[in-house]
Structure 1
Amino acid sequence: MTEAAEPTGTLGEGPHGSELQLRRTFTESLETVWTAMTDSAQLEQWIGRWEGDPASGQVTFLMTAEGENAPPEECRILECSPPRSLIVETSVGPSTWHLRFELSHEGDITTLLFAQRIGEDPLGSIGPGWEYYLDRLAAVLGGRDAGEVVWDDYYPRLSEHYEQLS
């Protein structure tokens, strides 16, 4: 079991409307964090991998952290400005999720802003999910095994915080 997770997400206004926003800071370089979030082989260490040609504007995303039966998701790349920002839309079941991340760097710290536009899906499950995955990213960037981050430490324990945001 890992250290008890605390909710960090807030609601904010993004370029496309209301968003659930989560922030993380890292001592790794901007380029290292960018690569961990965009390179298929590095993504696979903490969340999943993509297949296809990103230059086409669309890839298939496979959630490897969800087990072997997770269905592939179509992911449209709406905006990509390496190594600073990425905006995508992904189909999750019947829903479409609008996701973005922005990276900034000051001194020795790289800051990640991860955001999901508010839609119909309940924040009580979305928020804990993103906390879990971003902590898995932090584990990998810190040289640890993402498997040390335990889902049961996030859901349903963090759900109430996110339900109260909406």
Structure 2
Amino acid sequence: MIIPATGRVVRNGSGQDIVIERTFRAPIGDVWASIVDPERMNRWLGTWSGDAGAGKRVWFTMTAEEGTEPEE
């Protein structure tokens, strides 16, 4: 089952944020590890680089869903 894409752009004091909300049927520790561990996130959703933390920046690249090719 594919969950429809949802999200919104929220303006902030220095630009814009993309806000995506999801609910997962998994222990919170596993979900959090899949977000903050680059290797786990790559297997699940995509890659990120940068200096993660409040007020800092990361660059995020979403990979294609299973069976499709990523777009450039």
**TM-score category (smaller protein):** 0.5 to 0.7
- Long gaps (5+) in structure 1: 49-60, 62-74, 81-86, 91-98, 100-128, 137-146, 156-166
2:51 maps to 77
Deviation at 1:16, TM superposition (A): 4.3
More helix by share: 1
Which among 9, 15, 19 is matched to residue 7 of structure 2? 9
More strand by share: 1
Q: Summarize the Cα distance change of 1:11–1:32 in structure 2 as closer, same or farther, 3 Å threshold.
A: same
Per the normalisation by structure 1, the TM-score is 0.30
Deviation at 1:36, TM superposition (A): 0.9
RMSD, aligned α-carbons:
3.7
Higher RCO (Cα < 8 Å, 6 or more apart): 1
2:32 maps to 34
* Number of equivalenced pairs: 69
Per the normalisation by structure 2, the TM-score is 0.53
Q: Summarize the Cα distance change of 1:77–1:14 in structure 2 as closer, same or farther, 3 Å threshold.
A: same
Query: What is the CA–CA distance in structure 2 between the aligned matches of 1:30 and 1:42, rounded to whole Å?
Result: 14
